[in-house]
Amino acid sequence: MSQPVPPSSGNPFAGGDQFAPAPPPAPVRNNFGLGLAAGLGAAVVGALAYGGVMRALASEDGSYTEIGYAALAVGALVGFALGKVGGRNPILPFIGVPLALVAVFFGQLFGFALMISWWSEAAPDPMTVTEILTSNLGDLIEGWKEEAEAMTYVFLGISGFAGYAVTKKVAA
């Protein structure tokens, strides 16, 4: 007695092997405009996250803690988006530097706005984040200048360096 052989897969009436299916299309790379848009989107997301981390680390007594890793993460996020989507365009790493710097700066402003809004909740007329960012933006920037220390500028530099280095590394 012989063992039963399972039927072959596919159409039993077709003759021989068919052509191999076409490979999937390669991912779109080396697109400067799309890379720039992805970098801008990553900068916005990074700034919002940075501000949220600042607010989460704030104390009720009016103190807060800055973390350098958050600035590094924002720069890396911007650089990753630029390099992955934009590809090997030689201009993108240099765009990553100011984009990461601006993202961390606006993240710090957003964090200060969140903290001021939280600290003013006990006041008779509390301020909202939107009110702080629109009608009191000049005062917010002046407050940022007064609060800025040497480490603030170091964190800005770290984010710019990460924006450059990660863009260059991911695109390679």
pLDDT digits (tens, 9 = 90+) for 26-52: 766 678 999 999 999 999 999 999 999
Query: For residue 25, what pLDDT band results from cuts at 50, 70 and 90?
Result: confident
pTM check: above 0.85: no
Q: What is the Cα–Cα distance from 42 to 112, expressed in whole angstroms?
A: 20
Confidence of residue 155 (pLDDT cuts 50, 70, 90): very high
* CA nearest to 107, candidates 60, 33, 57: 57
- C-beta separation of 84 from 42 below 8 A: no
Q: 100-148, pLDDT tens digit by residue?
A: 999 999 999 999 999 999 999 988 899 999 999 999 999 999 999 999 9
- Residue 11's pLDDT is 63
| Strand, helix or coil for residue 8 | coil
E strand or H helix at 15: none
In this prediction, residue 18 has a pLDDT band, given cuts at 50, 70 and 90, of low
Provide φ and ψ at 21, rounded to 5°.
-65, 155
* Cβ 87 vs Cβ 30: under 8 Å: yes
pLDDT band, very low/low/confident/very high, at 21 (cuts 50, 70, 90): confident
Rounded to the nearest integer, the mean pLDDT of the chain is 89
> Rounded to whole angstroms, what are the CA distances from 160 to 19, 66, 77, 109, 139?
50, 17, 11, 17, 26
Statement: residue 58 has pLDDT above 80: yes
